[in-house]
């Protein structure tokens, strides 16, 4: 794959803007984190429903209550996975709001199908349920990680012995940053290495991806994140390394999955929020698949 400076410059400039917004949302506080992924959640849903409607025209006819009720249920799942986040100045928790939204959305899904379609369209309901797993569950698990609810010290009674104590010493926002940074490094280095020396295509689904770029991106991601982990917290360096590896590998599959969906829909990009980067799903496809696997890893070692 030949190096394209024009494409690289376009992607780099828009990426700088994107990184600035992301870091502001990720680092300011938990509320900026929630606002950031609220926008991302609904942005991904709008693009997902558009893609599924292109793949299967029947889905384009779903009624508004189904369309937005599903999004509402997904957002309720996100809020449900926050720990002790309360609306400032009140005793109302996001957890309780999420419970109500989730139940309301799931109730609307089959009921409105019967009322408006006069029959249960199980295929359309299935597409929406897949969206809940693909999009809403991933962001819910990321919020769960960010809330710190996953790891409460258990007096060293863990699979690896004392791991939860190490996890508890890591700031709540650090793990999401490690995941996202690992994916960014992997994507960037895979693009550069693949452009310079890539020869063997990784998959027909994404012809521009090469084995050389993919392997190079994963190795660079693990190496860089391991060094950062060693400099910042040497006792947790192996956690940084494992997260980088899991995020890079699963993130690559997430990219391929979204590419397959776009190919089935007959489109190049899921949207156009950033020049050279496409839409929300184009930008967060790797994170969508990486988050559940990292969450599972953290759950196992905790």
Structural domains in the chain (count): 1
Q: How confident is the model at residue 85 (pLDDT cuts 50, 70, 90)?
A: confident
Write the pLDDT tens digit of every residue in 92-130. 889 899 999 888 887 777 777 777 766 667 899 899 999
* pLDDT value of position 63: 86
* pLDDT value of position 167: 61
Q: What pairing do the DSSP bridges indicate for beta strands 201-203 and 206-210?
A: antiparallel
Q: DSSP letter for 155, please.
A: T
The secondary element (H helix, E strand) that includes residue 210 is strand 206-210
Domain extent, residue 138, equals: 5-301
> Which residues, 6+ apart, have CB-to-CB distance to 45 below 8 Å?
70, 71, 74, 131, 135, 136
Q: In Å, how far are 24, 235, 302 from 288, measured between CA atoms?
A: 20, 28, 22
Write the pLDDT tens digit of every residue in 207-255. 889 999 999 999 999 999 999 999 987 678 889 999 999 999 999 999 9
Range of lowest pLDDT (1-10, 125-134, 203-212): 1-10
Q: What's the predicted TM-score (pTM) here?
A: 0.89
Whether the pLDDT of residue 154 is over 50: the answer is no
- Other Cβ atoms closer than 10 A to 19: 12
* pLDDT value of position 277: 64
> Which residues, 6+ apart, have CB-to-CB distance to 234 below 8 Å?
none
How many residues are present in the chain? 302
Separation CA 145–CA 153 (nearest Å): 15
Whether the pLDDT of residue 157 is over 50: the answer is no
């Amino acid at each position: 794959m030949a190096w394209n400076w024009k494409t690289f410059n376009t992607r780099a400039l828009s990426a700088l803007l994107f990184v600035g917004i992301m870091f502001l949302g990720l680092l300011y506080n938990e509320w900026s984190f929630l606002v950031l992924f609220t926008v991302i959640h609904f942005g991904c849903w709008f693009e997902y429903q558009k893609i599924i409607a292109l793949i299967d025209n029947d889905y384009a006819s779903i009624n508004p209550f189904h369309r937005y009720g599903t999004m509402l249920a997904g957002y309720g799942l996100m809020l449900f996975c926050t720990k002790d986040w309360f609306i400032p100045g009140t005793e109302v928790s996001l957890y309780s709001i999420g419970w109500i939204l989730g139940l309301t959305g799931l109730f609307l899904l089959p009921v409105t199908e019967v009322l408006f379609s006069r029959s249960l369209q199980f295929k359309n309901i299935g597409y929406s349920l897949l969206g809940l797993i693909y999009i809403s569950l991933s962001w819910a698990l990321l919020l769960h990680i960010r809330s710190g609810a996953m790891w409460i010290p258990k007096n060293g009674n863990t699979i690896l012995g004392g791991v939860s104590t190490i996890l508890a010493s890591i700031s709540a926002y650090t793990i999401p940053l490690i995941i996202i940074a690992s994916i960014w490094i992997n994507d960037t280095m895979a693009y550069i290495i693949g452009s310079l020396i890539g020869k063997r295509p990784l998959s027909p689904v994404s012809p521009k991806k090469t084995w050389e770029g993919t392997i190079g991106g994963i190795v660079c991601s693990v190496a860089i994140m391991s060094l950062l982990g060693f400099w910042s917290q040497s006792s947790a360096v192996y956690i940084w390394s494992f997260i980088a590896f899991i995020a890079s590998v699963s993130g690559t599959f997430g990219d391929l999955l979204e590419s397959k969906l776009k190919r089935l829909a007959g489109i190049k990009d899921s949207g156009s929020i950033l020049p050279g980067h496409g839409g929300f799903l184009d930008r967060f496809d790797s994170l969508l698949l990486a988050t559940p696997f990292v969450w599972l890893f953290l759950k196992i070692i905790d």
